[in-house]
Structure 1
Amino acid sequence: MTILQLEDDGNREHAYKVKNSLIFNAFVMCQIFNEFNARKPEEINCFKGVTKNYLFMGIIGFTFILQIIIIEFLGKFTSTVRLDWQLWLVSLGIGIISWPLAIVGKLIPVPKTPVASYFIKPFQQCTRSRDA
């Protein structure tokens, strides 16, 4: 709890709920930001044409607003507590990390021959020679 500076809170149960609410919120933010990456998995620029896709923007906006409602107003129902603006920024920061990670992942070259086939071939030759 030191990273979140909740030791000054005094109430260990409340600190535990804040931590769990932050984890949940960060997870949803990762999902929201990853939806942009999933739009165009082959392209580096996943934002091209995003504002022209009203359905996509509506889904993103609805998900974000619903998350705000869940965290801020539905605490008893969802077992969450309200987060202050700093923890909201932490959640957004964690979520936004998915964008540069996706770019790095897209820059890794993918071989035409799956890597696993190099490991399987020696074993297939051994079984063929035993069958003969």
Structure 2
Amino acid sequence: MEGKNHILLAASVLELLHEGIGLNTTGSIFMPNESRHNIKFSYSPTEKALLSWAVFELNMNMEKVEKDSTVLYVEAFNSEKKRSGVLIRRVQDGVVRAHGKGAAELILAMCTHYYVTEGNTAAFDDFESSNFELIQEMAASSLRCIAFAYKYVSNTEHEDGEIHNKVQDTGLTFLGLVGQKDPCRLVVKKAVDDCQHACVHLKMITGDNIFTAKAITTECGILGPNQETNDGSVVEGVEFRNYTEEERTESVEKISCVA
């Protein structure tokens, strides 16, 4: 398929993306008639953006996606795993697939294969490291990186009551990633400036990864433009939670953001 942004995907990969976006979501689509000019997307900005991308760029027909598959199990997004998942069975042939969606660096780490342009799969090698670099570059531009992956699930595995906790941890096939931009509103920058003028020291706590967190903290003015991620001003939550009380007391003035 070739879209207006010259996206070229094999039909099999496109089908998998439609499943992974259209069924692994808390959002919804409302189209009062067959015209896409009146289409409405609901739920969070992230879900609305992903559904909009799938409809307008990947030509997803939500009604067909829902008709072609039955949802067997849903794993809701949580802040610890930073992903959501869905187990589906295709109506046509009974094939069961598990789809994962979430923080790109975590989803990528669960994958062993990826799709090439022709629709064939290949094992990770240099592709994995190059995509980790891409994720870091996108995150450094304050983009929120979300990846998609899936795994075929055999009938034996599906009948296993523990399969829901296993299918999305390892052995997935990488489908792709997107970068979302949440622009910093002018009122935020002004509020930060006002607080700093009043000698109020601001800290930002976010669920984004450390690279995106640094970019956003810098963009809104909490973090100086020349500060580095490794200077202690931006730390990951897991690192901060492992600090002793003494280390927290010593570092709290320096920290501008917990990611």
TM-score (norm 1): 0.24
Q: Which has the larger radius of gyration?
A: 1
From the two aligned structures, give the one with the greater helix fraction: 1
From the two aligned structures, give the one with the greater strand fraction: 2
